[in-house]
Amino acid sequence: DAGVTQSPTHLIKTRGQQVTLRCSPKSGHDTVSWYQQALGQGPQFIFQYYEEEERQRGNFPDRFSGHQFPNYSSELNVNALLLGDSALYLCASSPRGGRDIAEAFFGQGTRLTVV
Amino acid sequence: AQKVTQAQTEISVVEKEDVTLDCVYETRDTTYYLFWYKQPPSGELVFLIRRNSFDEQNEISGRYSWNFQKSTSSFNFTITASQVVDSAVYFCALRAPNSGGYNKLIFGAGTRLAVHP
């Protein structure tokens, strides 16, 4: 059983560009959360998707947007990239609407570098 | 406000030494949950333990043990007889459902543990 799969694993973009990161949740999971982890820092919550809608959002600007598809997979889009967006982006999936965070599984992340 | 502080940025020990990772949290919720995660070099966060605010029993799992003290708002993690495979970054995290945190984890900055042979 594959766990949480994120693609791509690494990405280099130029300031001002747009990027799309993808996440396939663990089988049986219906909820996807995205976190940003800057170098040397803990992960910061970006938002969570459930039933194809954004359910909760952290303190991130509107340049960060997302989508969840009927098969529960999710995309994170970042527009007008800034150097400060360079980070490891982690996706976490949960079953049963994310009722129990302890059941969340994390992917290995996408390392985004903005130059 | 919710906050998790891991004051130790890096810890270096020799194999077989015991090591304790400190975690101090802040929340006004009376019901909350505390977690520890391990992040190996591959990047994924591996769940280690969850504690709810009503359960102050210490827990031991093999070489791992956790000391939860509400009086000092601390949830410390001890590895006994450390091994090289324990080398990783360890994160303490808080979930405070009644303060807008139902669906998210608030992480500390992490402690990088290096265990040398």
Average pLDDT (B69-96) is 95
Across chain A, mean pLDDT equals 93
Q: Is the pLDDT of residue B100 over 70?
A: no
Q: Is the pLDDT of residue B101 over 70?
A: no
Query: What 8-state DSSP symbol labels residue B98?
Result: G
Across chain B, mean pLDDT equals 92
Q: Is the pLDDT of residue B56 over 90?
A: no
From chain B, the residues in CB contact with A88 under 8 A are 43
Torsion, Cα B103 A64 A4 A44, to 10 degrees, reads -50
Rounded to a whole number of angstroms, the distance between the first and last alpha carbons of chain A is 36
**Nearest residue on chain A to B100, judged by CA atoms?**
A56
Q: Which tens digit of pLDDT belongs to each residue from A82-108? A: 999 999 999 999 887 777 766 788 999
Q: Identify the band that residue B104 occupies on the pLDDT scale cut at 50, 70 and 90.
A: confident
Q: Is the pLDDT of residue B83 over 70?
A: yes
Using DSSP bridges, classify how beta strands B10-14 and B111-116 pair: parallel, antiparallel or unpaired.
Answer: parallel
pLDDT for the residue numbered A104: 83
β-strand partners of A83: none
Average pLDDT (A60-75) is 97
Average pLDDT (B14-19) is 97
Q: Is the pLDDT of residue B96 over 90?
A: no
pLDDT for the residue numbered A2: 72
Q: How many angstroms away from the CA of B18 is the closest CA of chain A?
A: 24
Q: Identify the band that residue B115 occupies on the pLDDT scale cut at 50, 70 and 90.
A: very high
The answer to whether the CB of A23 falls within 8 A of the CB of A32 is yes
pLDDT for the residue numbered B84: 96
Residues 21 through 40 of chain B touching chain A, CB cutoff 8 Å: 33, 35, 37
Q: Which two tokens stand for residue B65?
A: 């043990």
Best probe of the A interface among B10, B105, B112, by most A CBs < 10 A, is B105
From chain A, the residues in CB contact with B107 under 8 A are 42-44
Contact A108 B105 (CB under 8 A): no
Contact A56 B104 (CB under 8 A): yes
pLDDT for the residue numbered A51: 92
- For residues B102 and A13, the model is more confident at A13
Cα separation of B97 and A82, whole Å? Answer: 32
Out of B6, B43, B109, the one facing A109 most closely (by C-beta) is: B43
